Amino acid sequence: MPVATSTYQQLLDLLAEHDADFELVDHEATGVTETVSALRGHPAAWAAKALMLVVKPDRRSRKYVLAVVPGDRRVDLDAVRRYYGARYVGVCETATAEQLAGSPSGTILPIAMHHDVELLADPAVLEQPQLYFNAARLDQSVRLATADWARIAQPALHPIAVAS
């Protein structure tokens, strides 16, 4: 998929441009957080799980939000709804999520790569010294210093994670 390759290269360029402390990790192709965390050799809590959401503040408008939580938790849609004061929050349709993320489902970066996407992360993501996430492809991940992720991604922070 050419878009994923493009997003992959954009990610590498972004990390290099910001002089980030990162490493690429090759592994078996998978987009399941628990499985890929085991393959990479770290606790699931160190994974940055990203989910593309549609937020409808009212009947006429919508916005897209990339929600990021630790890999051992899930996104609390009601907490996201309250944060935005919205009437509805739900998971984006796969095609829309992939188009906005620039990569296939299971490889969505915890960095908003599209200008129409807002980034919202649970503060617990910042508790680990490093984050792991698929690098816009299923067979390679990034290990990134958490401080560099926060500096580069600049997420809004709000409690949006609940236990899986």
**Considering the chain, what is the average pLDDT of its residues?**
95
61-115: per-residue pLDDT in tens? 999 999 999 999 999 999 999 999 999 999 999 999 999 999 999 999 999 999 9
Q: Say which CATH number the domain at 102 has.
A: 3.90.960.10
Look up the domain containing 111 and give its range.
2-163
Per-residue pLDDT at 31: 87
44-67: per-residue pLDDT in tens? 999 999 999 999 999 999 999 999
Backbone angles phi, psi at 98, to 5 degrees: -65, -35
Domains: count for the chain: 1
Band (3; pLDDT cuts 50, 70, 90): very low
Strand pairing partners for 103? Answer: none
Mean pLDDT within 6-10:
94
Cα dihedral 153, 34, 88, 158 sign: negative
Q: Is the pTM of this model over 0.85?
A: yes
Residue 1, pLDDT above cutoff 60: no
Place of tokens 């090759």: 26
Cβ-Cβ contacts under 8 Å for 67 (sequence gap 6 or more): 50, 51, 52, 53, 75, 80, 120, 121, 160
